Structure 1
Amino acid sequence: MRTDATRSGCRRPRGTGRIEGTRGGAVADIAHEPETTQADTAPLHLPHAAVECPKCFTELQRDRDWWLARPAGSRLVGLVVARDDMPSVVQQRDDLTRFGVPIEGFRHPAPDILESWEQRLARLFDTFRPGDVLVVTNVQALGRNVDEGTRTVSALARRGIVVKVLSHGARHLDTAPTV
């Protein structure tokens, strides 16, 4: 039986396999097809963390349905941040456009003004409705450090906002910075 997962070398028979999202990654109950079968060995069908497995991780990344999923009636909102530790504004805009975030009447962010980061975020939060999806190119867009990013994600979650990060700067999700 051929499934989407068999393209990447993973086998997920109908009704027996599962991929579950968890905080910090996904767990997969998937077994790999052996490269060569030897008479004295047999493949072990043990669950493993999909994000630790290059074959499974690639398949998870290709799951456009998850990346594009959002509640009915919600908005897809892209956040572009102009800071030295971030990619250029144009690069962030291009990445968001490739993801599918509509960019209409795009204007470059204003240079630093007499407004704190928290004030800017509060102003941004006021534009969201529960169920909206915020997309950022990398985790640094959510805060100037890990603590600030964590507070931002928590505040968004309390408001019912979904956050999707396009690039964690890590090969696997479980090695990505935690925010």
Structure 2
Amino acid sequence: MNAGRRRTVDILTTTDLKALRLLLGLSPAEAAAMIDEPKDWLVDAERGRSWNISPKYRDFLLRMEEVVQTFIDWVETTPGRFIIVYSNEDVFRDYDPVWAAKFPTALMHLQAASRAVSTLGNRQLNIVTLFPKAFEEYLQHTGKADSPDVRQSWAEAFSANYRTMGAKR
């Protein structure tokens, strides 16, 4: 399990706060809203203008990092090759309510998926965005009901359509 490889986060400076926020895939405005502070307050907190680290902000970021680490642990225990992510907040909430309840944004979920791929490099994982129309057409075409295994089959079929091409000049 990833627990043995978990990254320990030590917030020593205000730059550590900013680095962790960026690693989590949060904009200053998103992070500020999530801790009910003005964006300017958060930007000042990250610049270290007072030499003080906000425990409220630090603890929020550390809680979100724990969610990411839990997600990586979960990915490690699943047999699938594809990590399914979502094109926007509504699709994320509709198609993955369990993780949507833990991740404040779909972008944060994508960032966690990217970190899982990096952390679990020996698994040769790929990230695929679930597009509702394409997925629903797949379900209709195959006559299958939505399930984790069916999503893996869809992701494999969907990703098979991609190819690498040189840029047109």
Higher relative contact order (CA 8 A, sep 6+): 2
Q: Which has the larger radius of gyration?
A: 1
- Whose helix fraction is larger, Structure 1's or Structure 2's? 2
Question: Do Structure 1 and Structure 2 share a fold, with TM-score over 0.5?
Answer: no
- Whose strand fraction is larger, Structure 1's or Structure 2's? 1
Q: Normalising by the residue count of structure 1, what TM-score does the alignment of the two structures yield?
A: 0.26
Q: Normalising by the residue count of structure 2, what TM-score does the alignment of the two structures yield?
A: 0.27
